[in-house]
Amino acid sequence: MRREGSPWQGLGVVVLKELSDHLASARMRVLEWLVVLTALAAVYAAITQVRDVTAQDPFLFLRLFTTARDPLPSFVSFLGFLVPLMAIGLGFDAINGEHNRRTLSRILSQPIYRDALLFGKFIAGLTTLAISLIVLWLLVIGLGLLLLGVPPGGPEMGRALIFLAVTIAYAGVWLALAMLFSVVFRSPATAALVTLGLWLFLTVIWPALAPAIAEAFVPADDQALLVTTAQMLARVSPSTLYGESVLALLHPTTRALGPVYLSQLQGAVMGAPLPLWQSVMVAWPQIVGLIAASILLFVGGYVAFQRQEVRA
């Protein structure tokens, strides 16, 4: 059965409205300050740490992102923790909030499809996240220029830019997940709790659980299989995927993200950095996985929303 008209009708209107809501909301301001303050602290710590080795390191700028100094974790680990929090904060009441305000049926009785509302909210959320992440990224680069006094090279900037894109994709996964639960659960509090619970599980518990599960199902004498199985299981979590792709992108010497046999290392110049695109190739499955996960989760939310009854 063909529907008349375009599913995108009204999309731009919804995006603009949601975007202005997000950018003006108190919730967003709190999250932004949280992210900016903690991330800047991490970068400052990193800078004081790497200053001493300025001359030797060819990828000095990337160290800004990855260097940790006790007691602060690195900028990247901060992001891995806070980006999901921001995304969930923006998405957990996307649809059920409209339900509870009783605006949903009134908005849907305008000449638009449900597609426009859901997709518009997703785009607006992702744009908000992208804006804050880009600002943060520029802040870090700016601070680096000021405090290190060394201009970054082309490949470094390329890596940093791809890292930014991957972080946005990572945010998209959590946003799509939060929106899916905002469709499924009528109460925003339930949706937020379930999403946060799942996030904690996938980020903290699952990576520790994966080897244990692998051990239970794989014969103990096959060490290689055991390691790969554990790794495959761990990669179910978007946090693992993000961590691995960041590792490949920001540590140019990373040659593989899985176990490597000694025979494969024959002739390799240990410790030599890979060219930019080779590093991207190493992280490519993880990057695609992140994008695919956000698409899948969004489609799940879309299907659930299309079938949902609008009456309160």
Partner 1 sequence: MSIPVIEARGLTKRYGTATAVDGVNFKVAAGEIFGLLGPNGAGKTTTILMLLGLSDISSGEARVFGHDPMREPLAVKRLVGYLPDTVGFYDNMTAADNLHYTARLMGMRSAERKQKIAAALARVGLAEVAEKKVGTFSRGMRQRLGLAEIIMKDARIAILDEPTNGLDPQASIELLELIRSLKAHGVSILLSSHLLDRVQSVCDRVALFNAGKIALMGTVPELGRHVLGGGFAVEVEAESSDGIAKRLSALPGVRSVEAPAPGRFRMTCDRDLRAEAAAAVVAAGGRLKQLSLDQPSLEEIYTRYFQNVQEEARHAA
Q: Residue 283, CB half-sphere, CA atoms under 13 Å: how many?
A: 29
Q: Which of 111, 149, 267, 271 binds partner 1 (CB under 8 A)?
A: 111
Q: Which of 48, 54, 101, 138 binds partner 1 (CB under 8 A)?
A: 101
**Spacing of C-alpha 264 from chain mean position:** 32
Q: Which of 92, 113, 242, 305 binds partner 1 (CB under 8 A)?
A: 113
- Cα 275 to Cα 277: distance, rounded to the nearest angstrom: 6
Q: Which of 8, 13, 64, 209 binds partner 1 (CB under 8 A)?
A: 13
Tokens 């059965």 — which residue?
1
- Whether residue 67 contacts residue 46, with contact meaning beta carbons closer than 8 Å, is answered with yes
Q: Does 17 bind partner 1 (CB under 8 A)?
A: yes
Phi and psi for 69 in degrees, rounded to 5? -140, 125
Q: How far is the CB of 16 from partner 1 (least distance, A)?
A: 8
- Picking from 239, 43, 28, the residue whose alpha carbon sits closest to that of residue 138 is 43
Helix ranges (H only) for the chain are 11-24, 26-50, 60-66, 75-91, 96-101, 104-108, 114-148, 154-184, 188-200, 206-217, 223-234, 238-250, 276-307
Q: How far is the CB of 304 from partner 1 (least distance, A)?
A: 15
- Cα 270 to Cα 249: distance, rounded to the nearest angstrom: 17
Query: Is the CB of 3 or the CB of 70 nearer to partner 1?
Result: 3
- Binding-site residue total for partner 1 (CB under 8 A)? 26
Q: How far is the CB of 302 from partner 1 (least distance, A)?
A: 16
Q: Does 70 bind partner 1 (CB under 8 A)?
A: no
Q: How far is the CB of 110 from partner 1 (least distance, A)?
A: 4
Q: Does 1 bind partner 1 (CB under 8 A)?
A: yes
Q: Does 2 bind partner 1 (CB under 8 A)?
A: yes
For the chain, give the longest Cα–Cα distance. 67
Q: Does 109 bind partner 1 (CB under 8 A)?
A: yes
Per CB under 8 A, the segment of 107-115, 134-142, 184-192, 239-247 that binds partner 1 is: 107-115
Q: Does 124 bind partner 1 (CB under 8 A)?
A: no
Q: How far is the CB of 30 from partner 1 (least distance, A)?
A: 16
Interface with partner 1 (CB under 8 A):
1-5, 9-10, 13-14, 17, 101-103, 105-113, 309-312
